Amino acid sequence: MSGMNFDSWSCPLPLRDYPHVVMGHGGGGKLTAELIEHLFASAFRNPTLEAFGDAAVVPPLAGRLALTTDSYVVRPLVFPGGCIGDLAVNGTVNDLAVMGAKPLYLSAGFILEEGLPLALLGSIVERMAAAARAAGVLVITGDTKVVERGHGDGCFITTAGVGVVPDGLNLSPDRLRPGDVVVISGPIGNHGVAILSVREGLEFETEIASDTAPLNGLIAEMLAVCPSIRAMRDPTRGGVAATLNEFAARSNVGIQIDESCLPVDDQVRAACDLLGLDPLLVANEGKVVAVVPADAAEPLMDAMHRHPLGTRAAIIGRVTDNHPRMVVARTAVGGKRVVTLPVGEQLPRIC
Amino acid sequence: MSGMNFDSWSCPLPLRDYPHVVMGHGGGGKLTAELIEHLFASAFRNPTLEAFGDAAVVPPLAGRLALTTDSYVVRPLVFPGGCIGDLAVNGTVNDLAVMGAKPLYLSAGFILEEGLPLALLGSIVERMAAAARAAGVLVITGDTKVVERGHGDGCFITTAGVGVVPDGLNLSPDRLRPGDVVVISGPIGNHGVAILSVREGLEFETEIASDTAPLNGLIAEMLAVCPSIRAMRDPTRGGVAATLNEFAARSNVGIQIDESCLPVDDQVRAACDLLGLDPLLVANEGKVVAVVPADAAEPLMDAMHRHPLGTRAAIIGRVTDNHPRMVVARTAVGGKRVVTLPVGEQLPRIC
């Protein structure tokens, strides 16, 4: 179970009577109150949450407001390198950070399936709380619903996040210009391959772990050195291919990448070969793609390499006025291929 | 299907190829993009949403920020008077409004089950959009995930809402004082009974409809006349009983209510008798409970009665320093009973 020790979760006594989630935990009565007090509030502990208003109220923000949401339905709930809880925090933190926002506050909505072990829920929530602390954000409000056995799948989590965007900063995928440089913060494909290898029961020499991580620290360093960054995105579902195709379409430019420059861990590459996956299409949960004017690329690389989450950052391509709205990769053997999006689903329930 | 005409939803052509939600709609590829463009964006249409950033960015707020979230798992998805879509908008709008916040922006996270008819999803989303227009809020960001058939239940929606709290306004359930007056904006129990009567196949002379409605307009009028309101809450899960018990506990006061003053529709009362339900415990989705200093009660009643959602507003009780932390009802026959919360679940999946 990859570092997730259920026994370590010390469930307070009142909840011990119910080792599993029951319908009453979502009923709005005493059981719901107990779950909130002993499980959620004790993990997320902060005065705003503990005011338990219908909405949480915080001081005015100094700048434009950024709002984002993601629902998490990853299967299994716990996987090498993380669980649905840290994924739900990091993913929402990262969606704010790539827009140039400083992430501040999260909300969390839980849809629990009757029968979910409370110790598992407790561990997930503690991991969420640890992820929030690591990212420097507060979970200030939440909600819990319970659905009957067979009408859910253990635990779904929907986080929303609020951040503040500093004046003068305007990142947008429609701002790319020919000549710009495309960078990535580190090796790709780890999250998707980690999930899939658990599901398929694949064994590798060393375990492949999800890269789930909060990117707001790295991105703050990047913006400090290079405020001219055109656009950023964390390449989750659809991978780097989806991010670059969206950038190309929104800016009406072409993007050329060099596959030999793409950082990919050997084990991830081997797994992709085995499973017939293109690493460019596999989800990441702790990487950022950024596009910058060419003259800013070198100081940006230096700044990224100095941050623990950017030590393997690399320049992977360029923006061009050839082939607008198209992403083209130079392959390792010297050919070229068009990098398109799948129509449907490559890896279901990856996040 | 209570006013929800699926045939009226004109699904644009590209989606016609798939009459149902398929896993690919959640994959982050072309199908996801199509669903967003043709179904979600065309319903929620606004420039902030249509920027399609990882987070939506809006101008600075003029005041304290309020954040709330709720996950909606109501069954059935469509019921007399509403559907999961308007419930998800109104519920979040109301959670902001009862804190004194002006609701401004919503996010929406959808967890769809493979096989959900797209026309049903389209109708739900159009109803959400109509509810948002009626409440004067914008849905500015969202997310869609799809789970395999049998691992969800049609459609779950998690909305988060952002609002702004005017300076000087501080509503809180711990501010009640003995002598304060308790008011309710209208008849209770309609939502819960509407849901239950559909589930149980009960027939009444006239259909009992959910009271789902956005309360921000009514509450703005209330606060304009009576800024001294101590606390408000929309009595959803757990009903008026849960709200009053929480107020009593948080303020360490007693609350006395008079059952003969409680507005309850005849049909709702009959249904509660039939089903063995206490109307005080049944969920509402368009009512507000407010506690005010006694001298403000009359102007507040006048203001509420002038608003379409408050025509049947009533004073239902008083705050007392007798029996602290306890809610006591004077019954219609002149006795007294303690109004407690159920331990678990009275009506599962009511919202």
Instruction: Tell me the chain A residues in contact with residue B73 when contact means C-beta distances shorter than 8 Å.
Output: 26, 111, 145, 147
pLDDT tier for residue A2 given thresholds of 50, 70 and 90: very low
Instruction: Tell me how close the Cα of B272 comes to any Cα of chain A, in angstroms.
Output: 18
- Say what the pLDDT of residue B16 is: 60
All residues at 6 or more sequence positions from B89 whose CB lies less than 8 Å from its CB, including other chains: B106, B128, B131, B132, B135, B137, B139, B159, B214
Q: Cβ–Cβ of A71/B158 closer than 8 Å?
A: yes
Instruction: Tell me the chain A residues in contact with residue B58 when contact means C-beta distances shorter than 8 Å.
Output: 64-67
Amino acid at B24: G
Instruction: Tell me the chain A residues in contact with residue B64 when contact means C-beta distances shorter than 8 Å.
Output: 57-60
Residue A273 pLDDT more than 50? yes
Q: Cβ–Cβ of B65/A65 closer than 8 Å?
A: yes
Residue A17 pLDDT more than 80? no
Q: Which of B22, B58, B65 sits opposite A64 (nearest CB)?
A: B58
- For A96-149, the pLDDT digits (tens) are 999 999 999 999 999 999 999 999 999 999 999 999 999 999 999 999 999 999
DSSP string, B203-261: --SS---------HHHHHHHHHH-TT--EEE---TTHHHHHHHHHHHHHT-EEEEEGGG
Instruction: Tell me the chain A residues in contact with residue B67 when contact means C-beta distances shorter than 8 Å.
Output: 55-56, 58, 105, 107, 140-141, 160, 162
Region A220-224: what's the mean pLDDT? 98
Q: Which of A66, A70, A250 sits opposite B57 (nearest CB)?
A: A66
Instruction: Tell me the chain A residues in contact with residue B349 when contact means C-beta distances shorter than 8 Å.
Output: 26, 145, 147-148
**Which residue on chain B is closest to A160 by alpha carbon?**
B160
Q: Cβ–Cβ of B163/A55 closer than 8 Å?
A: yes
Instruction: Tell me the chain A residues in contact with residue B347 when contact means C-beta distances shorter than 8 Å.
Output: 27
| Three-state secondary structure call for residue B269 | helix
Region A220-243: what's the mean pLDDT? 97
Residue A268 pLDDT more than 50? yes
* Residues A29, A19, B348: CA angle, nearest 5 degrees: 35
- Say what the pLDDT of residue A18 is: 81
Burial (Cβ within 10 Å: 0-12, 13-18, ≥19) of residue B31:
buried
CA distance A261 to A317: 8
CA distance A72 to A85: 9
pLDDT tier for residue A275 given thresholds of 50, 70 and 90: confident
CA distances from B345 to A14, A17, B61 (A): 17, 16, 39
A 10 A CB-CB count for A51 gives 17
- Say what the pLDDT of residue B341 is: 84
Instruction: Tell me the chain B residues in contact with residue A284 when contact means C-beta distances shorter than 8 Å.
Output: none
Q: Cβ–Cβ of A96/B54 closer than 8 Å?
A: yes
CA distance B192 to B209: 9
Q: Which of B55, B99, B144 sits opposite A54 (nearest CB)?
A: B99
Residue A13 pLDDT more than 70? no
Nearest CA to B145 out of B71, B201, B199 is that of B71
**Which residue on chain A is closest to B114 by alpha carbon?**
A348
| Residues B80/B200, Cβ–Cβ less than 8 Å | no
CB pairs under 8 A between A and B: 284
Cis peptide before A76 (omega within 30 of 0): yes
Please give the average pLDDT of every successive group of 10 residues along chain B, which has 351 residues: 49 70 89 91 95 95 97 97 98 98 98 96 97 98 97 98 96 97 98 93 85 98 98 96 96 97 96 92 97 98 98 98 97 93 81 94
Instruction: Tell me the chain B residues in contact with residue A27 when contact means C-beta distances shorter than 8 Å.
Output: 237-238, 342, 344-348
CA distances from A43 to A34, A273, B13, B69, B224 (A): 13, 41, 48, 18, 38
A 10 A CB-CB count for A224 gives 9
- Say what the pLDDT of residue B108 is: 98
Instruction: Tell me the chain A residues in contact with residue B35 when contact means C-beta distances shorter than 8 Å.
Output: none
- For A56-86, the pLDDT digits (tens) are 999 999 999 999 999 999 999 999 999 999 9
Q: Cβ–Cβ of B22/A344 closer than 8 Å?
A: yes
* Residues B176, B179, B180: CA angle, nearest 5 degrees: 45
Q: Which of B31, B162, B345 sits opposite A65 (nearest CB)?
A: B162
| Residues A193/A272, Cβ–Cβ less than 8 Å | yes
* Residues A234, A237, A242: CA angle, nearest 5 degrees: 75
Q: Cβ–Cβ of A343/B161 closer than 8 Å?
A: no
pLDDT tier for residue A347 given thresholds of 50, 70 and 90: confident
Instruction: Tell me how close the Cα of B106 comes to any Cα of chain A, in angstroms.
Output: 9
Residue A8 pLDDT more than 80? no
A 10 A CB-CB count for B275 gives 15
Instruction: Name the region of A195 (left: φ>0; alpha: ψ -120 to 50; beta: rest).
Output: alpha
Helix axes B297-306, B216-225, angle to 10 degrees: 140
Burial (Cβ within 10 Å: 0-12, 13-18, ≥19) of residue B252:
exposed
Q: Cβ–Cβ of B73/A234 closer than 8 Å?
A: no
- Say what the pLDDT of residue A61 is: 95
Q: Cβ–Cβ of A111/B156 closer than 8 Å?
A: yes
CA distances from B172 to A1, A54, B24, B233, B291 (A): 43, 10, 45, 9, 10
Per the listing, tokens 């002038």 go with B306
Amino acid at B43: A
Q: Cβ–Cβ of B99/A55 closer than 8 Å?
A: yes
Instruction: Tell me the chain A residues in contact with residue B147 when contact means C-beta distances shorter than 8 Å.
Output: 73, 153, 156, 349
Q: Give the alpha-carbon dihedral of A344, A89, A27, A6, to 10 degrees.
A: 100
Strands B289-292 and B181-184 come out as antiparallel
CA distance A304 to A289: 12
DSSP string, B127-157: HHHHHHHHHT-EEEEEEEEEE-TTSS-SEEE
Q: What is the ipTM of this complex?
A: 0.95
Q: Which of A23, A162, A172 sits opposite B67 (nearest CB)?
A: A162
- Say what the pLDDT of residue B161 is: 98
- Say what the pLDDT of residue B12 is: 58
CA distance B216 to B103: 7
Residue A157 pLDDT more than 80? yes
Strands A336-338 and B155-165 come out as unpaired
CA distances from B294 to B183, B306, B320 (A): 11, 20, 12
Q: Cβ–Cβ of A73/B111 closer than 8 Å?
A: yes
Full-model pTM: 0.96
Q: Cβ–Cβ of B54/A95 closer than 8 Å?
A: yes
What is the token pair recorded at A350? 């990856």
pLDDT tier for residue A312 given thresholds of 50, 70 and 90: very high
Instruction: Tell me how close the Cα of B97 comes to any Cα of chain A, in angstroms.
Output: 9
Instruction: Tell me the chain B residues in contact with residue A161 when contact means C-beta distances shorter than 8 Å.
Output: 55
**Which residue on chain A is closest to B169 by alpha carbon?**
A57
Instruction: Tell me the chain B residues in contact with residue A143 when contact means C-beta distances shorter than 8 Å.
Output: 69-71, 158
**Which residue on chain B is closest to A232 by alpha carbon?**
B54
Q: Which of B66, B107, B346 sits opposite A69 (nearest CB)?
A: B107
Q: Cβ–Cβ of B344/A27 closer than 8 Å?
A: yes
CA distances from A51 to A36, A136, A140 (A): 12, 20, 9
| Three-state secondary structure call for residue B171 | coil
Nearest CA to A323 out of A251, A253, A241, A243 is that of A253
CA distances from A344 to A186, B26, B201 (A): 26, 8, 39
Question: 3-state SS of A147-214?
Answer: ECCCCCCCEEEEEEEEEEECCCCCCCCCCCCCCCEEEECCCCCHHHHHHHHHHHCCCCCCCCCCCCCC
Per the listing, tokens 């084990």 go with A267
H-helix segments, B1-139: 13-16, 30-35, 42-44, 47-50, 84-97, 118-135
Instruction: Tell me how close the Cα of B319 comes to any Cα of chain A, in angstroms.
Output: 20
